Structure 1
Amino acid sequence: MSEPTRAQSDFRAAMANLSAAVNVVTTDGPCGRAGMTVSAACSVTDAPPTLLVCVNRASRSHAVLVGNGRLCVNVLAGEHEDLARHFAGAANLPPAERFTDARWDLTGYGVPVLRGAAAAVLGRIRGRSELGSHSVLFVDVEQVRTQDGGGALVYFQRRFHSLGTQPAA
């Protein structure tokens, strides 16, 4: 891997200061079960409900997500930093063991859904655009589950942070 250019380094530094929600994107189907930690996910429109998810094409989960065509964006609550690390590969937990935790509903939705997630947004990949190292997946939302009170897990300055539910003063 080559050294990043000055523009790339500056961009990465700027993006480290962009707070982002932490999600675990999951899938299951004919191509297998997979999950990965993603901070690049956001709404596109509510008419029809659509979101986008950016996934590195070098990720071993990329082909499984695209092949299955169906996914869940599990928006992590403040207490889920361990899951974020597991699905980012930082905990050296083998992929086959990532869904053995009782927090996962593996049967109710066709894809793994995290019990206790701040939100779980299930949908089908409508389209894909590729730019640089990533695919941008456009997802038609089919079902949404939300849960209040768990706060949020965000990524800021290359670290995880748990946010409570109290508004800033």
Structure 2
Amino acid sequence: MSLKAEISESALSAVDPKQYREGMSRLGAAVSIVTTQGKAGQAGLAATAVTSVTDQPATLIVCINSLSRSGHTIEENEVFAVNVLSADDQYVAEVFGGYTDVPRDKRFDVGEWQIGATGVPVLKTAIATFECRVTGQNIVASHRVLLGEVVAVHLGQKAEPLMYFDRDYRKIEL
């Protein structure tokens, strides 16, 4: 049996943004710190909009608000790392998410960092880190969607992941 929905074009754009945001707040997501360093400088931000695209070649996407200074820095540097956080790194997420009084230029003073193969900051306590080079991007409404080919993977200790659900940080016990 074939199902066919007849939806008018106006109905497709009629979703209330507030209701959409509320629904998306119920989609649990892993918390990562996206970092970059290069000719345009050093930057980092907290992100939950990260997902795998394919494993051959290893590729992921990350979505960043177009107004983000860090997003522009990543674009210019052409490299970034996705540092997947454990529950123990919640404060790092709060700092990079702008939820503390730590100034932007002091964010990397929080947490233990090392320089990765691409020259980007890699969080030593991350569950996993994916170093990427930017291979494409697209602007979709308010966000920049970056396509990154993974050039290095660092596996940390298995630990409880830090999740974001219902507008708050959550821990998932293993």
When normalised by structure 2's length, the TM-score is 0.88
| Paired position in structure 2 for 1:70 | 79
Contact 1:78–1:164 (CA under 8 A) maintained in structure 2: no
User: How far is 1:62 from its partner?
Assistant: 1.4
Compute the displacement of 1:104 (Å). Answer: 0.9
* Residue identity opposite 2:143 in structure 1: H
From 157, 163, 166, the equivalent of 2:166 is: 157
Q: Is the 8 A contact 1:55 1:62 kept in 2?
A: yes
Q: Percent identity?
A: 36
Q: Aligned ranges for residues 40-59 of structure 1 at < 5 Å?
A: 40-59=49-68
Q: Does 1:110 align with 2:119?
A: yes
**Structure 2 unmatched ranges of 5 or more:** 1-13
Gap change, CA 1:102 and 1:7, over 3 Å in 2: closer
Match of 1:15 among 16, 20, 24: 24
Flag the structure with larger Rg: 2
Runs of 5+ unmatched residues, structure 1 = none
**Superposed displacement of residue 108, structure 1:** 6.0
Q: Structure 1 pair 112/46, CA: closer, same or farther in 2 (3 Å)? A: same
TM-score by length of 1: 0.91
Write the deviation string for residues 86-136 of structure 1: whole angstroms up to 9, x where unpaired: 001111211111112351114665100000101000010000011110010
8 A Cα contact 1:79 1:162, kept in partner: no
- The 8 Å contact of residues 36 and 42 in structure 2, kept in 1 or not, is answered as yes
Number of residue pairs aligned between Structure 1 and Structure 2: 161
Change (3 A) 1:132 1:105: same
Deviating runs (4+, > 6 A) in structure 1? none
2:97 to 88, 92, 95: 88
Deviation at 1:48, TM superposition (A): 0.7
Residue in 2 that maps onto 1:34: 43
